[in-house]
Amino acid sequence: MAAEQYDYDLIVIGGGSGGISCAKESASCGAKVALFDFVKPTVHGTKWGLGGTCVNVGCIPKKMMHYAGLLGDAMHDAHKLGWDVPESHKQMKFSWEKLIETVNNYIRSLNWGYKLQLKEQGITFFKALAKFIDPHTIEFEKSKKTQRVTGKYIVLAMGGRPHIPANLEGRDLAITSDDIFWQQKAPGKTLCVGASYISLETAGFLHAMGYDVTVAVRSILLRGFDRECADFLGQYMQEMGMKFKNGVSPTKLEKLDDGKIRVSFKSSDDEQKGDDKMEIYDTVLFATGRRPETKELGLDVTGVELDAESGKIRVSREQTNVSHIYAVGDIVYGAPELTPVAIQAGKLLALRLFKGATTWMDYHDVPTTVFTPCEYSCVGYSEEEAADVFGAENLEIYHMKNNPLEHYSVKRINKDGKEMNNTLYFKLICDKSQNDKIVGLHYCGPNAGEVMQGFALAVKVGCTKAQLDNLVGIHPTCAEWFTLLKVTKSSGESAEASAC
Q: How far apart are the first and last CA of the chain?
A: 68
Q: Nearest 5°: phi and psi at 153?
A: -115, 150
Q: Nearest 5°: phi and psi at 405?
A: -50, -45
Distance set, CA 80 to CA 90, 386, 407, 499 (Å): 16, 43, 10, 19
- The SS3 assignment for 12 reads strand
* Contacts of residue 101, Cβ cutoff 8 Å, sequence gap at least 6: none
At 459, the amino acid letter reads: V
- Length of the chain measured in residues: 500
Do residues 395 and 438 make contact, with C-beta atoms less than 8 angstroms apart?
Answer: no
Do residues 206 and 188 make contact, with C-beta atoms less than 8 angstroms apart?
Answer: no
How far, in whole angstroms, is CA 243 from its chain's centroid? 22
* C-alpha dihedral sign at 108, 112, 117, 122: positive
Cis peptide before 41 (omega within 30 of 0): no
Do residues 206 and 187 make contact, with C-beta atoms less than 8 angstroms apart?
Answer: yes
Task: Give dist(CA 282, CA 192) in Å, integer.
Answer: 11
Task: Give dist(CA 211, CA 296) in Å, integer.
Answer: 38
Q: 140 forms bridges with which residues in the sheet?
A: 147
Q: Choosing from 79, 163, 407, 475, which is the catalytic residue?
A: 475
Distance set, CA 300 to CA 83, 133, 290, 295, 306 (Å): 63, 10, 22, 9, 10
* C-alpha dihedral sign at 133, 137, 138, 143: negative
At 445, the amino acid letter reads: G
Task: Give dist(CA 92, CA 84) in Å, integer.
Answer: 12
- The SS3 assignment for 472 reads coil
Task: Give dist(CA 409, CA 479) in Å, integer.
Answer: 17
Do residues 202 and 168 make contact, with C-beta atoms less than 8 angstroms apart?
Answer: no
Per the annotation, the verdict on 475 as an active-site residue is: yes
Nearest to 384 by CA among 445, 436, 440, 449: 440
Residues labelled catalytic: 475
